[in-house]
Structure 1
Amino acid sequence: MTDIEISVLDKTYRPEHAADRQHKAIADLQLRVARDQFVCLLGPSGCGKTTLLNMIAGLDSQYQGQIRIGRLASRPKIGYVFQSPRLLPWYDVRRNIELVFPAKPPTELIDALLDAMQLGDVQHEFPERLSLGMQRRVAIIRAFAIDPDLLLMDEPFVSLDAPSARQVRNLLYTLWQQRPHTVLFVSHDLREAIALADRLIFLSPSPMRIVADIVVDIPRPLRNDEVQIETFRGTLYSRHPQIADLL
């Protein structure tokens, strides 16, 4: 069953720095995503990827079209990992995670997620005492903790050095394997996207359209093999030369 159906006919807005003109961000974007599929969205800066995630999350309703998530009668649960961790500095790690629960937080679930992200030893530390990589892991836990119908991730590893990004990426992948969710993941890093995704969606500059929709057919156990990733990347560029200008 299709978990997400996105049909955005038009998304136009007035930029804050140029309120006298209109900017068409998205035009006739059609995308379907299957349940528990991990999909990476790739495209140039400013093409509208964050705008699209905000529309899917219900934070922006000013567009023409329709976005349907599952066959749910009520509003779906959406986990959102933003580009910045957005942790409250006056709460410790555990309390920052518990904030997403209106009632009693599920202690065992939070313990399991902390262990999976290797943060059990720092659960009572405050954000300022954590590295940026650790803060991003807390943000990922907070999004997973609500058992979302859809998980949105907007460049969650941006500004991390390569080793830290690799560590958090591997932990995310392990957590996703243990607790599969439908994921829409924005990235500028093609290697990162190949390592994580079932599908790669390449997007044009605004007005944003889908340029290519590629299935990643590397077996999951080989996704950390740099040779496999580079081979797939090279084949991708040779078969779809138009994507080179999008990254």
Structure 2
Amino acid sequence: MSDIRINISNKTYVLAHDTEQFHHAIADLDFTVHPQQFVCLVGPSGCGKTTLLNMIAGLDPHFEGQINIGQATQSPTIGYVFQNPRLLPWLTVRQNIEIVFDDKPPTSLIDNLLDNMQLFDAQHQYPERLSLGMQRRVSISRAFAINPDILLMDEPFVSLDAPTARQVRRLLYSLWQKRPHTVLFVTHDLREAIALADRLIFLSPSPMRIVSDIEVPIAREQRTDEGCVEAFREQLLQNHPKISELL
């Protein structure tokens, strides 16, 4: 897998089809993500983070600029975890994961995902019987099932209480360590970003631009130490005071 090269000079869209009001979402956004790098995009609500993920996924091709993924002859596999789990209510947990396969689903792979995400005992339940945290674990499992080259995650833990978010975050990270992918993870939670990422890209309000691009120097085995994460967060805000305005 080669680099993801993002160079967007302009992204504008109409606010309402019956008006001539336009919203300038992104301007002069230029950065590269390296293979198997875990990058968190941090910025205020409404700044265009979801729009950017949709453009990378190919769901929104209407912009000025280029997004190059891998070689021109390759078609990278992209997994997408949306803010809403988007589970099909008439399918069980296992069936919601199996649905991404055109052919017979690989039993052992799905068993391993269910086990790693602590869903094995719930695999025959329907979404309405699951907590929101469990639903989010199912959506993450579904995205990992296709073994994507790139995993896009749009605030996947939003609206979860703090203990549940920590649990799901740790399960995600454990799964990612076993099967590393290139990850672009959207959040406005700085502690969450520090706990997960190799690199933090801070984004301005729209039109979205990069404010800071910062490597996270904390060793992976220390990421579960909340004191260590908090110390780096405080240092980051002290050294880069403008960041606090983006959270």
Q: For the superposition of Structure 1 and Structure 2, which TM-score range results when normalised by the shorter chain?
A: over 0.9
State the match for 1:246 in structure 2.
Answer: 246
Per-residue deviation, residues 73-117 of structure 1 (Å, max 9, x unmatched): 242110000000000000001110011011111111000010000
Is the 1:80–1:152 contact (alpha carbons within 8 Å) kept by the matching residues of 2?
yes
Question: TM (normalized to structure 2)?
Answer: 0.98
Contact 1:9 1:64 in 2 (8 A): yes
Q: Distance in 1 between matches of 2:27 and 2:38?
A: 24
Structure 1 residue runs of 4 or more that deviate by more than 4 Å after TM superposition: none
Q: Which amino acid aligns with 1:89?
A: P
Deviation at 1:228, TM superposition (A): 0.8
Q: List per-residue Cα deviations over 1:179-207 (Å, max 9, x = no partner).
A: 00000000111001000000000000111
Residue 7 of structure 2: aligned partner: 7
What is the distance in 1 between the residues matched to 2:95 and 2:177? 25
Q: Which residue of 1 aligns with 2:22?
A: 22
Q: Number of aligned pairs?
A: 247
Letter in 1 for 2:142: R
Backbone CA RMSD of aligned residues: 1.2
Is 2:218 aligned against 1:218?
Answer: yes
Within-5 A mapping of 1:164-179:
164-179=164-179
Structure 1 unmatched runs, 5+: none
Q: Distance in 1 between the 2:17 and 2:233 partners? A: 37
Structure 1 residue 13: Cα displacement: 0.6
Write out per-residue CA displacement over residues 16-61 of structure 1, whole angstroms, 9 at most, x where no aligned residue.
3883211110001001001000000000111000000000000000
1:35 aligned partner = 35
SS of match in other structure, 2:231: helix
Letter in 2 for 1:61: P
Cα pair distance change 1:106/1:72, threshold 3 Å:
farther
Secondary structure of 2:140's match?
helix
Q: Percent identical across equivalent pairs?
A: 70
Q: How does 1:225-236 map to 2 (within 5 A)?
A: 225-236=225-236
The unaligned stretches of length 5 or more in structure 2 are: none
